[in-house]
Amino acid sequence: MDTNNLFVTGGSGGGVLTAWIVGKTDRFKAAVVAKPVINWTSFVLYADGAAFFSKYWFGKKPWEDPENYFRRSPLSYAGNVTTPTMLMTGEEDYRTPIAESEQFYTALKLEGVETAMVRIPGSGHGIANRPSNLVAKIASVLAWFNKYKTE
């Protein structure tokens, strides 16, 4: 393992964890957060399974327990992020709507963190559902990591 070139990426649940970990440590050279949940309150209120998520994942509606929702949201750690972070989501993703990525992108911009936003047109939660989308996804991730790689 090259400890000088550690990168992190994940999508969906892995996107949540990638956004969370860059708010907890600066050990990674760069990160790619794909189709994440960034703010559990906004997610529960407009994702495709609102009734299910609030009932079974949280047990309460966001306004009944706002502190718990925010505490579990990667957005609550945005002020700690220093890792260059790319966000990537399909424009037609109803499971983790693109507004989740937009929130983190904007928060990182406000914090002065190097960030980029990749919007995959015509794509839902399965970003790589078409060969062209798969190529775009891989090319974007590799370009972002290569930008921060040290020789």
DSSP string spanning 98-148?
HHHHHHHHHHHHHTT--EEEEEETT--S-TTSSHHHHHHHHHHHHHHHHHH
Percent of the chain having pLDDT more than 70? 100
The whole model's pTM is what?
A: 0.94
What amino acid positions are annotated as catalytic residues?
12, 125
Domains defined for the chain, CATH in brackets:
7-38+74-148 (3.40.50.1820), 39-72 (no CATH)
Q: What is the pLDDT of residues 80-108, one digit of tens each?
A: 999 999 999 999 999 999 999 999 999 99
